[in-house]
Amino acid sequence: MQRFEGYAVLITGAGQGIGEATARRLASEGARVLVTDLDGERAARTSATIPHSAPFACDVADRAAVEATVAYAVEHFGALDVLVNNACACTADTPLFEDQPDDTWQRDLDITLTGAFRCARAALPHLAKAGGRGAIVNIGSINAEADFGNHAYSAAKAGLASLTRTLAADAAPRGVRVNQINPGTIRTPAWSGRARQLDALAGLYPMGRVGTPEDVAAAVAFLASADAAWVTGTTLRVDGGLMAVNTGFARTRSFNDA
């Protein structure tokens, strides 16, 4: 089904992982995709394998770079219909909270939250011209909802959920929808070399596995498409049921019942 025939899409952090899978999914449904990444060479390698796509280096922490990226998308495709804010930064916590330095805290917020703001600000005027099919999909995290570590990253993702709601209200009269996806653990290159940890985490998920980038890409495709024409300001969990069930407690309850 070609739900995105004629659509022009910009995806940040699309050189690998969730962003790459999303680019592939939307392109497979007819979209023309601007594959952006901080690493321009990685964006180019990924774009070379995706039909109807083009690469562009973009640092979402740089306002001028973001505005140049959006301008290129509009020039290259003739329009912009969908923005997917996927770029993020996640710095490991210090052993003691009080040792967290300002620079790493600021970096996570600047890329993960303010970067999405910069992209939305630059894209919104163009999305508003998309004839009612304009959409922004923000990639959040279940870290926004509960403690899974990473103070700065979690705070940034929680802020992104708030921005999703407030921007949805602001953009709705202009025909632009804004939604967020909160994934659980996803098997991406960020987990490279930690297969045992991923296997251990799988047991915590009611569905018995961690997620794949394609799981998230499918959700993005729904929220970005006309199938979600009356959905805005919402956050969709793509987490294998993790936030719905305390798996450890459920196992203890089953043991006690036995």
User: Do 52 and 33 form a contact (C-beta atoms < 8 A)?
Assistant: yes
Rounded CA separation 200/220 (Å) = 27
Query: Measured between alpha carbons, how far is 239 from 234 in angstroms, rounded to an integer?
Result: 15
Phi/psi region, residue 189 (left: phi>0; alpha: psi -120 to 50; beta: rest), is alpha
CB 171 within 8 A of CB 177: yes
Q: Report CA-CA distances (Å) from 198 to 15, 87, 190, 205, 208.
A: 22, 22, 11, 11, 11
Q: Given the residues 7, 72, 129, 157, select the one marked as catalytic.
A: 157
Annotated active-site residue 153? The verdict is: yes
Q: Which of 7, 72, 153, 205 is catalytic?
A: 153
Q: Just list the catalytic residues.
A: 153, 157
